[in-house]
Amino acid sequence: MSNTFGKLFRITTFGESHGLALGVVIDGCPAGLSISLEYIQSCIDRRRPGQSAIVTQRKESDTVEILSGVFEGKSTGTPIALLIRNENQRSNDYDHNITTYRPSHADFTYDQKYGFRDYRGGGRSSARETVARVAAGAIANLLLQHYGIRIVAYVSQVGDLCLNTPYTELDFSQIDSNPVRCPDAAMAADMETLIRQVRKEGDTIGGVVTGVVQALPSGLGEPVFDKLHAQLGKAMLGINAVKGFEYGSGFAGTHWRGSQHNDLFYFDTLQQRIATRTNHSGGVQGGVSNGMDIYFRVAFKPVATIMQPQETVNRQGEATQIIGKGRHDPCVLPRAVPIVEAMAALVVADFILLHQAQQLFRVH
């Protein structure tokens, strides 16, 4: 259950890591939107394994196929189904975890929930499922582009290496210029060195992705339970390995006084609109966008699969040892960037449609 996300711009993903295919059905995309297969593929390529030396060396081409919902290059208003066939399945790499529970993976909890599980590569619990989200996010992004909205994410922390420069001072065009996807070249180099070293040790490391939504109109977001940042938070927390979410001032803001934290309103004569002098609110007040940038941070734990022996138990609860096999990411952050962008795009697309729904105009 719960493989569907969104209310109006609504996606349903399916597929297992080592099954036949991953896929997604997008229901609710307005008709008449130009859909570029090349664009969808380019988004998928950004999360593809094997794209650089610091990510997993699995070789999946991850070729996407549009099964339905697009006719003569445009969305028809009917469900858009996207399919990515699995290719490079070395399922034998996972024989060791048929009966043994990998620490901090979902092996044990899936067995508890479902009674058994597809153990090959983590099955449905594998982060491979996110390829379907990225495919759907590409369609959402095409919709956002129609509305002039822009979503960007980048790696702002790996282990103890934190990029403290405010996002407003960064050159986003540099994000993809390095394999870490950090827009600061010097920091990116340090991060890459760290990731290589961690991998050499057979270990893994966590970090933070920062996301930004720009040129979002005010008035989006649904009080009270589906506040813009609440839905965004849920979207991010639903990504594998995520342990925390904050937006605007976040946890840091809890130390402040109201007199420091409040964002004072003024009239921005350049843009001819009401704006705020600071943006500790992170673009959202009362759950609704105020026209300023939305920015947020997403915490990723270190990848659970390490190339070191670990104590664990088998299904019978008997003590045993396990050591990671297969080809894994020493740090999930670089490949998480397009996933964060995709999920953010899906959230915003949904809120746009919800907003339109509630207007009091004539259909005629």
Stretch that binds its own copies, among 46-54, 80-88, 89-97, 185-193 (CB under 8 A): 80-88
Give the CA-trace dihedral at 234, 240, 246, 252, to 10 degrees.
150
Contacting residue, 198, 336, 337, 342, with its own copies by CB under 8 A:
198
Selected from 172, 262, 293, 327, the binder of its own copies by CB under 8 A is 262
User: Pick from 94, 154, 295, 300: which binds its own copies (CB under 8 A)?
Assistant: 300
Q: Work out whether 33 is an interface residue with its own copies (CB under 8 A).
A: yes
Rounded least distance, CB 181 to its own copies, Å: 16
Of 171 and 214, CB closest to its own copies: 214
Q: Toward its own copies, which CB reaches closer, 152 or 352?
A: 352
Structure-token pair, residue 292: 């300023």
**197 binding its own copies? (CB under 8 A):** no
Examine residue 281 and tell whether it contacts its own copies (CB under 8 A): yes
Radius of gyration of the chain (CA): 21
Answer yes or no: are the C-beta atoms of 261 and 278 closer than 8 Å: no
User: Strand 150-158 and strand 74-75: pairing?
Assistant: unpaired
Gap between the Cα atoms of 189 and 56, Å rounded? 19
Instruction: Examine residue 101 and tell whether it contacts its own copies (CB under 8 A).
Output: yes
Do the Cβ atoms of 69 and 78 come closer than 8 Å? yes
Nearer residue to its own copies within complex by CB, 148 or 166 = 148
Among 103, 145, 176, 179, binds its own copies (CB under 8 A): 103
Contact 63, 84 (CB under 8 A): yes
Look at residue 192 and give its three-state secondary structure.
helix
Residue 43: strand, helix, or coil: helix
> If binding is defined by CB under 8 A, does position 93 make contact with its own copies?
no
322-351 as b/e: b if 16+ CB within 10 A: bebebbbbbbbbbbbbbbbbbbbbbbbbbb
Among the candidate windows 44-52, 167-175, 185-193, 273-281, which touches its own copies by CB under 8 A?
273-281
Q: Is residue 288 within the footprint of its own copies (CB under 8 A)?
A: yes
Does residue 254 belong to the site contacting its own copies (CB under 8 A)? yes
Which of 190, 211, 192, 208 has the alpha carbon at shortest distance from 200?
A: 192
Residue type, 359: Q
Q: Return the sign of the alpha-carbon dihedral for residues 110, 112, 117, 119.
A: positive
How far apart CA 272 and CA 190 sit, in angstroms, is 42
Strand partners, 314: 100
Scanning 45-53, 73-81, 89-97, 172-180 for contacts with its own copies by CB under 8 A, the matching segment is 73-81
Residue from 164, 168, 186, 225 in contact with its own copies (CB under 8 A): 225
Is residue 359 within the footprint of its own copies (CB under 8 A)? yes
Could you give the string, one character per residue 2-31, with x where binding to its own copies holds by CB under 8 A and - elsewhere? xxxx--x-x-xxxxx--xxxxx-x-xx-xx
Q: Check residue 271 for interaction with its own copies (CB under 8 A).
A: no
Residue 11 or 171 having the CB closest to its own copies: 11
Q: How far apart are CA 150 and CA 31, in angstroms?
A: 21
- Mapped onto helix, strand or coil, the DSSP state of residue 36 is coil
Member of 61, 145, 159, 214 binding its own copies (CB under 8 A): 159
**Positions in 106-135 near its own copies (CB under 8 A):** 106, 108-110, 112-118, 123-125, 129
Q: Is 310 in the site for its own copies (CB under 8 A)?
A: yes
Q: Which of 164, 257, 270, 271 binds its own copies (CB under 8 A)?
A: 257
Residue 363 interacting with its own copies (CB under 8 A): yes
Helix H or strand E encompassing 231: helix 228-237
Q: Tell me if residue 207 falls in helix, strand or coil.
A: strand
Q: For its own copies, how many residues bind (rule: CB under 8 A)?
A: 160
Residue 59 interacting with its own copies (CB under 8 A):
no
